[in-house]
Chains A and B, each alone.
Chain A
Amino acid sequence: MAETSEAKASASAPGGDAGGEEEKRDERMLECNICLDTARDAVVSMCGHLFCWPCLHQWLETRPSRQVCPVCKAAISREKVIPLYGRGNTKQEDPRNKVPPRPAGQRTEPESNSGFPGFGFGEGFHMSFGIGAFPFGVFTSTFNFGDPRPSAAPRGTAQYEEEQFLSKIFLWVAILFVLWLIFA
């Protein structure tokens, strides 16, 4: 019941001079939901709510047994907030030894051909197999064969020859493996 009137109240923000109000609303989008100031060391929860990390950390510390979003009361945890990094993030913040550093962002590598586990190739070996789509990855690699990638050793050098040789051996091993899979 309380929520109803609250929602109604916030839905219609007070009217005023258009320009200033617009600007203020833009600013408010980047305000921390706890201190109501511009969020510093900003983090965002899975439910999409923005906080300063020190503010959110203190909130989580205040009620360790009931970790909910201060805005929507969705479940929230230290591990599940995402830090936001704007440009020019070099400014030193005042050191707050009580507040631990903000959790780091998680960087997932973009999808790429991953190495074939168990074959242990040396570094610099450019041919690889997509394990996800095996055995199709094998053929993809086959068709790419004559087109060495930029990281490959320069043509004509001993290393290049060696790589080509290894590639061929590996290709045959792979084909045999596929045949074995089919006929075994």
Chain B
Amino acid sequence: MANIAAKRIKREFKEVMKSEEVAGGDIKLELVNDCWTELQGEIAGPPDTPYEGGTFLLEIKVPETYPFNPPKIRFMTKIWHPNVSSATGAICLDILKDQWAAALTLRTVLLSIQALLSAAEPNDPQDAVVAKQYRENPQLFNMTARHWTNIYAGGPTSVWEFNQKVQRLLDMGIDEHQARVALSTYDWELERATEQLFC
């Protein structure tokens, strides 16, 4: 790994550890390997959002050309958000692409991703299905996001109705996550979700 990348990550790591966001439990950063090329981030779901109370893990890969090119970051925790792929966890955030600036750090990037959870940008979606629901049925979107936070990120709000519907599909021998995706995609209409799963 290029010297400057490893050196900078080491420095950033130390700084993050001393930051008040880490002290306050907002973000976390852990090393995955010894050569400073892969880290694991963690952000707390922001208050007053469907993600509140959840803990979201992020995979961080540091390219050899860091900090001249952005780190590659994706959600490892499944999340229902217009700017995050519900399938792969890929994030659509300008600073991780063409708006990257070399002075940004892992700390500021993690905080930006956290801010993205508070303020989605449905006009620049990563997941078209989620974005459509966000625009057309915000209340259902909120419930779905809360449900996902409960199931995958340890959030406190369990949505009984949704759990029941997922269970119905489970009983038909469908994989749990697949069932949840189908139901979320078809606005929790059991019939349409089933149809899609068996066609």
Tell me the nearest residue of chain A to B4, going by C-beta: A35
Bound: A16/B23 CA distance, A:
13
Tell me the nearest residue of chain A to B9, going by C-beta: A36
The distance from the CB of A149 to the nearest CB of chain B, in whole angstroms, is: 51
Please give, as numbers and ranges, the residues of chain A lying within 8 Å of B112 by CB-CB distance.
Answer: 2, 5-6
Size class of the contact patch on chain B: 20 to 34
Please give the number of chain A residues whose Cβ is less than 8 angstroms from any Cβ of chain B in the complex: 25
B137 interface residue per 8 A CB criterion: no
CB distance B102 to A59 under 8 Å? yes
Interface residues of B in 56-83 (CB under 8 A from A): 65, 67-69
Number of A-B contacts (CB under 8 A): 66
Q: 1/0 per position for B1-35, CB-CB distance to A under 8 A?
A: 00010011001100000111101000000000000
Checking B21, B68, B116, B118 against A59 with a beta-carbon cut-off of 8 angstroms, the contacting residue is: B68
Please give, as numbers and ranges, the residues of chain A lying within 8 Å of B118 by CB-CB distance.
Answer: 1
The distance from the CB of A25 to the nearest CB of chain B, in whole angstroms, is: 13
B114 interface residue per 8 A CB criterion: yes
Q: 1/0 per position for B89-118, CB-CB distance to A under 8 A?
A: 000010100110111100110011011101
Interface residues of A in 101-144 (CB under 8 A from B): none
CB distance A9 to B11 under 8 Å? no
- A sample of 12 inter-chain contacts (CB < 8 A) reads A2-B95, A2-B112, A5-B112, A9-B20, A9-B21, A33-B102, A35-B4, A37-B7, A66-B98, A70-B102, A71-B101, A73-B99
